[in-house]
Amino acid sequence: MLTRPDAGPGCSWMKRMHERARGPSGPPDQPNPRMRWFWGFYLFMMLVLIFLPFTRPWPWPSVDLKGTQEYQSPMRIAGMPAIAIGAHPTGVIAIGGRPTGLIAIGGIAVGVVAIGGLAFGGFAVGGLSAAVFALGGAALGWWALGGGAIGRYALGGLAVGDYAYAGNGVAFGLHEANGRQKERLIT
């Protein structure tokens, strides 16, 4: 079973592996039919979650932040409280509905480091993020990473920017574009 007289044991399986690797490839990648159920369910859930805030089902009462007790720590840094908690807190570390500070965590966060549903700042993480470095479902920034990314360097399912990388998605780039579905240089 040896292919050459000077070949050692095990060369026959190596030759077969080499021949298989050189042979024609299989059929092109096609979507898995079992994944249709997954994507159908995913689309259904996304539509439900998009319209959920407009219906406000009975088990979830509305949230009222007007009665929220405000807290500001007695320690001050540059005239701002070190920690502030409440509906509209302002501090070095601000946690609440609409926080503003160096580190802002909340619904609509504005800060150097912003984490929230809507996040704006130097480094932003959230559903919609706008920052120098933005990470989120929709990311706008110099460096943008998210489902939909728009920026100088964009990485996401839909990437638009000077240098756009979309992996399996769609990429539109001014200088460079890389995406499996469609890639195009913006001219």
Predicted confidence (pLDDT) at residue 85 exceeds the cutoff of 70: yes
Contact (Cβ atoms closer than 8 angstroms) between residue 87 and residue 70: yes
Q: How far apart are the C-alpha atoms of 152 and 173, rounded to whole Å?
A: 9
What is the pLDDT averaged over residues 129-141? Answer: 93
In whole numbers, what is the pLDDT of the chain averaged over residues? 79
Stated pTM of the model: 0.61
Report the side by side order of strands in the sheet with 170-179: 71-72, 83-86, 90-96, 100-167, 170-179, 182-185
Looking at per-residue pLDDT, the higher value among 180 and 127 belongs to: 127
Residue type for 70, please?
Answer: E
149-164 per-position pLDDT tens digit:
999 999 988 889 988 8
Q: How far apart are the C-alpha atoms of 113 and 132, rounded to whole Å?
A: 10
> Counting every residue, how long is the chain?
187
For residue 3, name the pLDDT band (cuts at 50, 70, 90).
very low
Paired strand residues for 121: 111, 131
DSSP 124-152: EEEEEEEEEEEEEEEEEEEEEEEEEEEEE
Contact (Cβ atoms closer than 8 angstroms) between residue 181 and residue 170: yes
100-133 per-position pLDDT tens digit:
999 999 888 999 999 998 999 999 999 899 999 9
